[in-house]
Chain A
Amino acid sequence: MEESKTEEPKKKLNKGGLNLIILGVLASFIAILTTSISLIIYHNSGDIYLDRSRPGFLPDEEEIEEEGDKEEEYIFEKTGKLEIKNIEEYLQKLDAEIKAIDSYEKPFSSDVLSDKHLGISE
């Protein structure tokens, strides 16, 4: 008689434990599912490719040097009377930016993916 009394709360506890495990598994499943969906969206939207190309993703020596050599930022004033000297300064600063763009040798040039470059015999 006494034995059956002690077994009852034990059974209840076991049932509670089982419910807890089910809840845990369900929560983990939902977490994995939503994370996977988020990653799929992140990949398919293409943001992953932009993030991958950000400086610092694969830091190299060049990048670190560039960061250290940064000059004071120039921003053209949005307000004020416009004079020739402002335009001349503007063109001079803009020219420096454009020269930096031009200094990048052949960005996205076609020959990089040619059969010859990849080592595919024609």
Chain B
Amino acid sequence: MKKYLLPVAVLIAMFISLPALAISETQKNSIIDNCASIKQTLEGIQKTDARARVYLGSYYETILTKFITPLNVRLVENNLSTAELVENQNNFASAKTVFTNDYISYQQNLEELVAIDCKTEPESFYDKLIKVRQKRKIMEQDVLKLRSFLSEHIKLVDGIKGKL
């Protein structure tokens, strides 16, 4: 039994270390040929994303600190607070923190991608690109999640009108 353990472990290690997606010869040549323009596009994306982060981040911050939190405090004072509204506030605050942390992780990976020499290392470049795409997908989902918490908040606040 023991003699099979090592080969099995080696096979598992090989499987884990395989690149996420094999790169075709066309893609490889295309990366080498267009390396400069790809990098330029990526640098442009870095700047656009930085602007998106601060734009959305500042609105999330304003909504949390100048709308949702003071409203919940006033609702407690007026004995109108509901568990759903408090839970929604907590969810929104947590999602906002996750959004910031995911942005840091995404930008770190994007910076590492830009640093790779795509002319000499097209395979590593493409592997990293796939990882950055996954991180960007997470960012997109974070934005949608925050938006859904806001929709839920509006619905809950609308429901309070009936109690007044």
Verify that A and B bind, or say they do not: yes
By a beta-carbon cutoff of 8 Å, the part of chain A in contact with chain B is 46, 49-50, 52-55, 57-58, 73-84, 87-88, 90-91, 93-95, 97-98, 100-102, 104, 107-110, 112-113, 115, 117-122
Measured in the bound complex, the distance between the Cα atoms of B53 and A94 in whole Å is: 20
Asked, given contacts A58-B47, A91-B154, A101-B147, whether A113 binds B52 with beta carbons under 8 Å apart, the answer is: no
Complex CA gap A46/B128 in Å reads: 19
Q: CB within 8 Å of A: which residues of B? A: 24, 26-27, 29-31, 34, 37-38, 41-42, 45, 47, 49-57, 59-60, 62-63, 66-67, 70-71, 73-75, 77-78, 80, 100-101, 103-105, 107-108, 129, 132-133, 136-137, 139-140, 143, 147, 150, 154, 157-158, 160-161, 164
Residues of B within 8 A of A76 (CB): 66-67, 70-71, 74
Do B143 and A108 touch across chains, with their CB atoms under 8 A apart?
yes
Contact B70 A77 (CB under 8 A): yes
Q: Between A and B, how many residue pairs show CB distances below 8 Å?
A: 137
**A115 to chain B: which residues have CB within 8 Å?**
27
Q: Which residue of A lies closest to B41 (CB)?
A: A118
Contacts of B57 in A (CB 8 A): 53
Which residues of chain B are near A110, meaning CB under 8 Å? 133, 136-137, 140
A88 to B163, CA, bound (A): 14
List 8 other contacts, CB 8 Å, given A49-B108, A104-B52, A108-B143. A49-B50, A73-B66, A76-B67, A107-B52, A110-B136, A110-B137, A110-B140, A119-B34
Give Cα distance in the complex from A94 to B157, angstroms. 11
Rounded to whole angstroms, the CA-CA distance of A66 and B70 in the bound complex is: 26
Please give, as numbers and ranges, the residues of chain A lying within 8 Å of B133 by CB-CB distance: 110, 113
- Tell whether, in the assembled complex, residue A108 and residue B52 are in contact, meaning their CB atoms are under 8 Å apart: yes
CB proximity of B109 to chain A, nearest CB, Å: 11
Complex alpha-carbon distance, A93 and B154, angstroms: 12
The answer to whether B59 touches A82, judged by C-beta atoms less than 8 angstroms apart, is no
Nearest CB of chain B from residue A71's CB, rounded to whole Å: 12
28 residue pairs A–B, Cβ–Cβ below 8 Å: A46-B105, A49-B103, A49-B104, A53-B57, A76-B66, A76-B70, A76-B71, A78-B77, A80-B74, A82-B75, A84-B161, A88-B161, A91-B157, A94-B63, A97-B62, A98-B150, A100-B59, A101-B56, A101-B60, A101-B147, A104-B55, A107-B139, A107-B143, A112-B45, A113-B133, A119-B34, A120-B31, A121-B26
